[in-house]
Structure 1
Amino acid sequence: MNAGKLRHRATIQQLVSTDDGAGGSIETWQDIVTVWAAIEPLRGNERYTAQQVQSTLSHKVTIRYREGIKPQMRLTYKGRVFEVESVIDVEERHQWLELLCSEVVQ
């Protein structure tokens, strides 16, 4: 990977549960870090769910290596949301992470 391809500013978020003061909890997405990323579409498909067509796009997002990135996280970029499906440490060298993500388009 060439660092020059990291031209998108994406924010990595994590789902956080907080006490709502009434005995329950509220789940919200919290920003963890903003990184430079390369976002590449891989494929798309459509499915019929609840009487509407829902499109899902798959993307490969490459970022510099960073500890703690997990599949339960998501990325946001210009109002788009990418759910992290898997995290790959490229060649196990701790230089680059490839995040395989899905973006649901409604």
Structure 2
Amino acid sequence: MRKKISQLRHRLTFQKKTKIQDEELNWIDTYEDVFTVWGAVEGSGSLGNNETMIAGALGVKTPKKITVRYRKDIKPNMRIVKRVPKEKTERVFDILDTNDPDDQGEELEILCQEVGING
């Protein structure tokens, strides 16, 4: 079922991993922005409690579903950043899998795992 445009209310930036050299000429992994789109972020609440304690820190293990308009350039090795300007935080999601639910090339459902909240 196609989402209404009003449901795609989250600003999502897709990033790809890249390597850069620091001042000491060491190669370090970083991410660079590729494109930004509007999308819907849904938790999988029906799978049970989505939070768990990991080494004393709050972590999230339940997959999330993110829906965006269909794009061919979304790859499994990317990650998605949802910035929350009012709170000056960002939520980061690693892409696990993608699915075109109707095989119509209209929407793409992205199964993700939230890996962090930075702020």
Please give the range of the TM-score, normalised by the shorter of the 2 chains.
0.7 to 0.9
**Partner of residue 93, structure 1:** 104
1:71 aligns to 2:73 (yes or no): no
Q: Taking every aligned residue pair, what percent have the same amino acid on both sides?
A: 34
Aligned-residue CA RMSD in angstroms?
2.2
**Partner of residue 55, structure 1:** 59
- What stretches of structure 2 of length at least 5 have no aligned partner? 84-89
Distance 1:104 1:21, change over 3 A: closer
Alpha-carbon separation, structure 2, partners of 1:12 and 1:39? 14
- Name the amino acid aligned to 1:60: K
- Give the paired residue count: 104
Q: Classify the secondary structure of the residue corresponding to 2:102.
A: helix
Match of 1:3 among 5, 11, 18: 5
- What stretches of structure 1 of length at least 5 have no aligned partner? none
Alpha-carbon separation, structure 1, partners of 2:57 and 2:21? 36
Q: Which runs of 4+ in 1 moved over 4 A?
A: 19-24
CA contact (8 A) 2:76 2:96 kept: yes
TM-score between the two structures when normalised by the length of structure 1: 0.82
TM-score between the two structures when normalised by the length of structure 2: 0.74
Q: Which moved more, 1:16-25 or 1:60-69?
A: 16-25
